[in-house]
Amino acid sequence: MKRAVIVGGAPIGRYDSVRSYLRADDTMIYCDCGLRHAAGLGREADLIVGDFDSHENPHAAAETIVLPHEKDDTDTCYAAKEALRRGFRDFLLLGVSGARLDHTLGNLALLLMLDTAGAKALLVDDFSETEIVSREMARVSDRYPYFSLFNPDGSAKAVTVTGAKYPLTEAALPCEGSLGVSNEPLPGRTAEIRVGEGRLLLVRVRQAG
């Protein structure tokens, strides 16, 4: 299944690391000022989406969807919905976390939207990768120094974590507080995360700083 890569305008400082997630057959969708990452990622746009309030319309050869300035969806959210409409069910989100907290939170909410639509999505930044755990077990190998779990919409119940420094068995993970923050896979083990009901937000930390 081909994957849609949605690129937003949040900072990317470690292009070599982020670029390693790209595949040759990815469909690249740049959102407005996400276009500034095209050179660093080494990939031209297949689709450009934006209201062009933060970047000039490049009038490129790639298909371009020009959005109004006043709208309900951000450029990134519109791009995700458009990719779903076109049949994509596998997503990689780049340049969508960091800088403005409001946009970061909105883009984390996109992971929930895509999960509800039955799609897989991975959000990658300079330091970590983030995804929803719902229908399938998730794994964290010991090449990641840390991982954290959050109950983003209050739905997660019966959370089980094995192969980690702080295991859980059919546990409640409340929305409030920091109970799920900064767990560690055991050396030589792969941590496994299951949720009996609902969904979790999993953050794998690649580099601590």
Domains in the chain with CATH codes = 4-126 (3.40.50.10240), 133-205 (2.60.120.320)
Token pair for 192? 């496994």
Q: pTM above the 0.85 mark?
A: yes
What's the pLDDT band for 93 if we cut at 50, 70, 90?
very high
Q: How far apart (Å, rounded) are the C-alpha atoms in residues 170 and 112?
A: 22
pLDDT tens, residue by residue, 183-199: 999 999 999 999 999 99
Token pair for 136? 């399938």
Q: 12 near 95, Cβ under 8 Å?
A: yes
pLDDT of 1 reads: 78
Closest CA to 207 of 18, 36, 43, 66: 18
Residue 35 identity: L
pLDDT tens, residue by residue, 6-51: 999 999 999 999 999 999 999 999 998 999 999 999 999 999 998 8
pLDDT of 207 reads: 76
Closest CA to 181 of 201, 162, 199: 201
* 47-50/27-31 β-pairing: parallel
pLDDT of 38 reads: 96
pLDDT tens, residue by residue, 114-173: 999 999 999 999 999 999 999 899 999 999 999 999 999 999 999 999 999 999 999 999
Closest CA to 155 of 135, 130, 137, 139: 135
Q: How far apart (Å, rounded) are the C-alpha atoms in residues 60 and 72?
A: 26
In 86-169, alpha helices (H): 101-116
